[in-house]
């Protein structure tokens, strides 16, 4: 079963200084943290902050190519979590044919934000993500029940803020 999610924001992991993309379900009951690269974080941040750039970024170029080629971005699915790596599919449609494209979640989400398509996370991924070992300054978080919010109970000070 797929659960619709939205981009809740970006933050910084204070231990690794890597950006974390935060997805929340529409009821704001569950959060999925996805560690991403700096370039992808910048692409997502520009959309979140509605920054208009003079020249298109790579994800803007992909959106523009899709438009010119008559490709509809149907939705994004976060399909799996294996060995701390998330997997995604960009679901496209061209001339009535549905095309599933393997993609990194950060790229797929950056494209979804530009095209306005929905973002879904497979329920199995939510169950796997709910047991991520996120560490606070006071030690590891206890294991969560499947489907619980992996970020609840983490002090806000744990995370840095993402700045453009």
Query: What are the tens digits of pLDDT across the range 2-13?
Result: 999 999 999 998
Query: What are the tens digits of pLDDT across the range 42-98?
Result: 999 999 999 999 999 999 999 999 999 999 999 999 999 999 899 999 999 999 999
Confidence at residue 163, expressed as pLDDT on a 0 to 100 scale: 54
Confidence at residue 160, expressed as pLDDT on a 0 to 100 scale: 54
Q: How confident is the model at residue 161 (pLDDT cuts 50, 70, 90)?
A: low
What is the C-alpha separation between 85 and 70, in angstroms, rounded? 31
Question: Which structure tokens are listed for 40?
Answer: 């992808």
Cβ distance 113 to 44 under 8 Å? yes
What is the C-alpha separation between 74 and 67, in angstroms, rounded? 13
CA dihedral sign of residues 64, 37, 89, 21: negative
Domain range for 52 is 2-161
Number of H helices, E strands in the chain: 4, 10
Confidence at residue 70, expressed as pLDDT on a 0 to 100 scale: 97
Q: Who wins on pLDDT, 110 or 130? A: 110
Q: How distant, in Å, are the alpha carbons of 62, 107, 134, 163 from that of 77?
A: 18, 12, 24, 27
106: left (phi over 0), alpha (psi -120 to 50) or beta: alpha
106: CATH: 3.10.690.10
Give the least confident one: 15-19, 46-50, 52-56, 141-145. 141-145
- Given a cut of 90, whether residue 14 has pLDDT beyond it is no
The mean pLDDT value for 133-137 works out to: 39
Counting the structural domains of the chain, the total is 1
Cβ distance 163 to 46 under 8 Å? no
Task: Give pTM, 2 decimals.
Answer: 0.80
């Amino acid at each position: 079963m797929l659960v619709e999610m939205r981009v809740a924001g970006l933050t910084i992991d204070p231990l690794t200084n890597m950006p974390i993309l935060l997805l929340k379900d529409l009821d704001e009951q569950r959060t999925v943290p996805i560690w991403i690269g700096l370039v992808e974080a910048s692409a997502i941040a520009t959309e979140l902050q509605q920054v208009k750039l003079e020249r298109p970024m790579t994800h803007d170029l992909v959106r523009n190519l899709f438009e010119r080629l008559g490709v509809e971005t149907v939705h994004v699915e976060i399909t799996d979590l294996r060995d701390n790596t998330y997997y995604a599919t960009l679901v496209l449609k061209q001339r009535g044919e549905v095309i599933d494209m393997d993609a990194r979640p950060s790229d797929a989400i950056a494209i979804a934000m530009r095209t306005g398509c929905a973002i879904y996370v497979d329920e199995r991924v939510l169950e796997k993500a709910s047991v991520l070992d996120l560490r606070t300054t006071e030690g590891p978080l206890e294991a969560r029940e499947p489907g619980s919010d992996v970020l609840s109970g983490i002090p806000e000070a744990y995370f840095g803020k993402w700045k453009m």
